[in-house]
């Protein structure tokens, strides 16, 4: 290159970096490492300044799977199965059982999935081997609750 300037010198584009120097920044044919950013803020490009501590999760205890959401889904499904099997002859109770065992239980499983995914992004995540089995149990019980209550509703509609 005949111009004599450093092709890797982008300091004129960085507003927080050191001022460009007139001396070339090549040492033994390699560019020098960029200057460190001030300790309080980290520059992530495009003019955004964000504290580095904001990007890391809170340290302390390991994150765990929020199994309470699955417990709620299992409880809803079991209640729906009992109501649909025991009191399914009553159309309002059969429809209520379908609603509790289907959409509400599935919504609780979805909340678990969302919060578990967030928990897995933490640096420390304590994976329990029972959680996938509890998840599957919640899905199967929810399916059973929907089927039992739907059969009760179909039996009622078929007798009209």
pLDDT (tens digit, 9 = 90+) per residue, 131-149? 999 999 999 999 999 999 9
Phi, psi of 14 (to 5 degrees): -100, 115
Averaged confidence pLDDT in the chain: 80
Torsion of CA 40, 41, 42, 44, to 10 degrees: 180
Predicted confidence at residue 10, as pLDDT, reads 77
The answer to whether the beta carbons of residues 76 and 108 sit under 8 Å apart is yes
The domain limits of the chain are 1-55, 63-158
Digit-coded pLDDT (tens) for 74-114: 999 999 999 999 987 889 999 999 999 999 999 999 999 99
Question: What's the token pair of residue 23?
Answer: 């001396």
Q: So what's the pLDDT on residue 53?
A: 42
């Amino acid at each position: 290159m005949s111009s004599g300037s450093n092709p890797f010198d982008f300091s004129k584009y960085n507003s927080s970096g050191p001022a460009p120097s007139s001396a070339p920044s090549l040492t033994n044919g390699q560019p020098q490492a960029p200057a460190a950013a001030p300790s309080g803020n980290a520059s992530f490009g495009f003019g955004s300044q964000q504290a580095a501590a904001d990007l890391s999760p809170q340290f302390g205890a390991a994150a765990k799977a929020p199994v309470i959401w699955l417990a709620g889904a299992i409880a809803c499904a079991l209640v729906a199965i009992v109501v649909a099997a025991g009191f399914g002859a009553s159309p309002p109770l059969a429809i209520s059982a379908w609603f509790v065992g289907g959409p509400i239980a599935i919504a609780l499983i979805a909340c678990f999935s969302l919060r578990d995914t967030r928990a897995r992004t933490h640096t420390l995540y304590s994976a329990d081997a029972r959680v996938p089995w509890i998840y599957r149990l919640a899905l199967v019980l929810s399916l059973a609750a929907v089927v039992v209550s739907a059969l009760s509703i179909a039996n009622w509609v078929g007798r009209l």
